[in-house]
């Protein structure tokens, strides 16, 4: 057989080598060095020695798998989840929580320093509970013909196959205790082979379930689901398709709501809410403290969602404007402003990735700005924020790379980066959430 040379093809040394990890990356992989090359090894902690086999080799780095671990770090803990190493939901339950959080904070600090040239601490870290924190979870449903059973769970690591979840210690206990009875209920349906996914949400007034089904449900199945909702005191909604409105299974079901900063926010089961309630409470409190809100302030909240920040801000200032690209979230924000008797709030449904200069909110004046964009960041609105010249800007981020990129626009415009915080919103995962405070240079008390 003829073989052709490929300059991009790199052979992998299949031999066994011994290494000692000296650090972790944000994904929880151990970082070791061998013959001048950085090697990433899943499951190896700083200070641990192991025999490894290389699985991938590039010019600048390599990846390896553990053949035999030769020592244990004091930061190694026993994962409480029986699905750990199989389920793709959590990757770091074997790592002590303090090490996880400090590693993410250090990653954030290094990234900000590399992109902006500034040495700034991401401590103190905003923490929540180590387990039992997740108040929203979406689980896939997959009928296994061989076992003649419906699997309900999360995707396996790097595959499309589902792990049939029986326990999930990162879920709020009120949701975790529904897993096994819900699985039994769904397996008893005639439509068991035609189900899409299920969402579990814990509102402050109780749990709710959204069931996505691919075909209309028969009366018998509806009665089985209705009985389940009564027995387990859970509100149940049916979703026949992505474009169809949710159908409450029982008439008169109370709408879900949660509290933040003393306000009551009602939401649709399909609305985005922060998964970690305790960290969300602290995050909102920190943002309000950083903004140092005064009765004369005019505040702009970009990518505002349903008003998680907007409404608490409104309770303290002259006026606030929230701008959001999802119409349903804008409607929820407007409704909740009325519910909480906040008359100084305006919400705009606008695409913040389009030409914002023609949008009606853009002609208004603001002296403080908060933004909470998606992973893509806020490159399109940064020039307009600079044009507004607010005294303070609070940037809440779910992607440190775009936070670092967007920070440069404010720094170049004369803003000072005063504080950065790492938000431990998703313990045991690689997700890194953060927030940063910028103050206009002439107001920051910092020299030229």
We report the CATH number of the domain holding residue 169 as 2.40.50.1070
Residues 244-255 have a mean pLDDT of 86
Out of 231, 257, 283, a domain closes at 257
pLDDT at position 445, please?
Answer: 55
Question: Using only C-alpha atoms, what is the Rg of the chain?
Answer: 25
Residues 323 and 409 in one domain: yes
Task: Report helix, strand and coil shares of the chain as percent, to nearest 5.
Answer: 25, 30, 45
Annotated binding residue 372: yes
Tens digits of residue pLDDT in 181-198: 999 999 999 999 999 999
Q: Check pLDDT > 50 for residue 3.
A: no
CATH number where 50 lies:
2.40.50.140
Residues 423 and 313 in one domain: yes
Is 278 part of any domain?
A: yes
Q: Is the bond preceding residue 124 a cis peptide, omega within 30 degrees?
A: yes
Catalytic residue among 106, 185, 304, 398: 398
The residue range of the domain holding 343 is 105-128+274-440
Annotated binding residue 168: yes
Q: Check pLDDT > 60 for residue 152.
A: yes
CATH number where 118 lies:
3.40.50.150
Can you tell me whether residue 115 is helix, strand or coil? helix
Sign of CA dihedral 158, 161, 164, 165: positive
Tens digits of residue pLDDT in 105-147: 999 999 999 999 999 999 999 999 999 999 999 999 999 999 9
Residues 280 and 406 in one domain: yes
Is 144 part of any domain?
A: yes
Residues 174 and 248 in one domain: yes
Q: Check pLDDT > 70 for residue 74.
A: yes
Say if strands 61-69 and 37-42 run parallel, antiparallel, or are unpaired: parallel
Is 95 part of any domain?
A: no
Residues 246-271 have a mean pLDDT of 92
Residues 152 and 212 in one domain: yes
Residues 325 and 347 in one domain: yes
Annotated binding residue 90: yes
Is 4 part of any domain?
A: no
Out of 203, 230, 257, a domain closes at 257
pLDDT at position 253, please?
Answer: 80
The structure's pTM equals: 0.92
Residues 25-43 have a mean pLDDT of 91
Residues 66 and 152 in one domain: no
Annotated binding residue 344: no
The domain tally of the chain equals 3
Residues 289 and 240 in one domain: no
Residues 302 and 395 in one domain: yes
Residues 317 and 359 in one domain: yes
In a 10 Å sphere around its CB, with 0-12 CB exposed, 13-18 middle and 19+ buried, how is residue 119 labelled? exposed
Residues 369-395 have a mean pLDDT of 96
Is 217 part of any domain?
A: yes
185 is catalytic: no
Is 90 part of any domain?
A: no
Annotated binding residue 274: yes
Out of 257, 283, 313, a domain closes at 257
Mean pLDDT of the chain: 93
Annotated binding residue 303: yes
Is 264 part of any domain?
A: no
Close Cβ partners of 122 (under 8 Å, ≥ 6 residues apart): 105, 106, 108, 109, 112, 420, 421, 422, 434
Q: Give the residue, 272 or 15, on which the prediction is more confident.
A: 272
Residues 302 and 427 in one domain: yes
Q: Check pLDDT > 50 for residue 420.
A: yes
Sign of CA dihedral 388, 446, 423, 107: positive
Residues 246 and 280 in one domain: no
């Amino acid at each position: 057989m003829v073989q052709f040379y490929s300059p991009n093809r790199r052979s992998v040394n299949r031999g066994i080598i011994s290494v000692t990890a000296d650090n972790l990356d944000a994904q929880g992989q151990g970082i070791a060095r061998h013959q001048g090359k950085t090697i990433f090894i899943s499951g190896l902690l700083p200070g641990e020695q192991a025999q490894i086999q290389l699985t991938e080799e590039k010019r600048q780095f390599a990846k390896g798998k553990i053949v035999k671990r030769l020592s244990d770090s004091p930061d190694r803990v026993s994962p409480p989840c029986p699905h750990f190493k199989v389920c793709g939901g959590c990757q770091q339950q074997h790592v002590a929580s303090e090490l996880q959080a400090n590693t993410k904070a250090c990653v954030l600090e290094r990234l900000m320093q590399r992109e902006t040239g500034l040495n700034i601490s991401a401590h103190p870290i905003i923490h929540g509970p180590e387990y039992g924190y997740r108040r929203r979870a979406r689980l896939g449903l997959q009928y296994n013909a061989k076992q003649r059973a419906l699997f309900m769970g999360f995707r396996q690591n790097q595959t499309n196959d589902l792990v049939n979840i029986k326990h999930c210690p990162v879920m709020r206990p009120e949701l975790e205790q529904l897993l096994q009875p819900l699985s039994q209920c769904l397996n008893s349906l005639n439509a068991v082979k035609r189900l899409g996914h299920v969402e579990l949400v814990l509102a402050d007034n109780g749990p709710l379930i959204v069931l996505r089904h691919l075909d209309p449900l028969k009366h018998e199945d509806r009665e089985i689901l209705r009985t389940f909702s009564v027995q387990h005191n859970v509100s149940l909604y049916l979703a026949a398709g992505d474009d169809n409105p949710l159908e409450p299974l029982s008439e008169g079901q109370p709408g879900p709501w949660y509290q933040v900063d003393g306000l009551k926010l009602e939401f649709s089961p399909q609305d985005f809410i922060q998964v970690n309630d305790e960290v969300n409470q602290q995050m909102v409190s920190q943002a309000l403290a950083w903004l140092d809100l005064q009765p004369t302030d005019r505040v702009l909240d970009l990518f505002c969602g349903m008003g998680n920040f907007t409404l608490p801000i409104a309770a303290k200032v002259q006026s606030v404007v929230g701008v959001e690209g999802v119409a349903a979230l804008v409607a929820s924000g407007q409704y909740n402003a009325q519910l909480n008797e906040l008359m100084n709030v305006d919400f705009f449904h606008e695409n913040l990735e389009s030409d914002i200069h023609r949008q009606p909110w853009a002609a208004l004046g603001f002296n403080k700005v908060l933004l909470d964009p998606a992973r893509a960041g806020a490159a399109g609105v940064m020039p307009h924020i600079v044009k507004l010249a607010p005294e303070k800007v609070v940037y809440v981020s779910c992607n440190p790379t775009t936070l670092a990129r967007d920070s440069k626009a404010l720094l170049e415009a004369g803003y000072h980066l005063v504080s950065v915080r790492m938000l431990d919103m998703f313990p045991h995962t690689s997700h890194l959430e953060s927030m940063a405070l910028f103050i206009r240079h002439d107001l920051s008390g910092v020299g030229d």
